[in-house]
Amino acid sequence: MPDQKNFGFIGGGNMGEALIKGLLRASLCAAGHIHVFDVSPARLRDLESTYGVRCRTSAAEVADSAQAIFLAVKPQHMEPALDGIASHLSRSQLIISIAAGIPISMIADALPEGQPIIRVMPNTPALVLQGASALARGRHATDEHMDLALGLFRSVGTAVEVEEKLMDAVTGLSGSGPGYVLLIIESLIEAAVLLGLPRAVARELVLQTVSGTAGLVRETGRHPAELKDLITSPGGTTIRGLHVLEERGLRGALMSAVEAAALRSSELGKK
59 is in an annotated binding site: no
Do residues 66 and 6 lie in contact, with contact meaning Cβ atoms separated by under 8 Å? yes
Residue 123 labelled as part of a binding site? no
Is 15 marked as a binding-site residue?
A: yes
Q: Where are the alpha helices (DSSP H) in 32-75?
A: 41-51, 59-65
The verdict on whether residue 120 carries a ligand-binding annotation is: no
Residue pair 44/55 in contact by the 8 Å Cβ criterion: yes
Q: Is 72 one of the annotated binding-site residues?
A: yes
156-159: list long-range contacts, CB under 8 Å, 24+ apart: 156/18, 156/19, 156/21, 156/22, 156/122, 156/126, 156/129, 156/130, 156/131, 157/122, 157/125, 157/126, 157/129, 157/130, 157/131, 157/132, 157/133, 158/131, 158/132, 158/133, 159/132, 159/133, 159/134, 159/135
Q: Is 12 annotated as a binding residue?
A: yes
Q: Is 11 annotated as a binding residue?
A: yes
Q: Per the annotation, does 234 bind a ligand?
A: no
Q: What is the DSSP string of 144-188?
A: HHHHHHHHHHHTTEEEEE--GGGHHHHIIIIITHHHHHHHHHHHH
* Contact criterion met (CB below 8 Å) for 185 and 210: yes
How many CB atoms within 10 Å of residue 138? 21
**Residue 42 assigned as binding residue:** no
Q: Residues 162, 95, 269, CA angle at the centre, nearest 5°? A: 55
Residue 151 known to bind ligand: no
Which residue positions form the known binding site? 10-15, 72-75
Which residue positions form the known binding site for NADP(+)? 10-15, 72-75
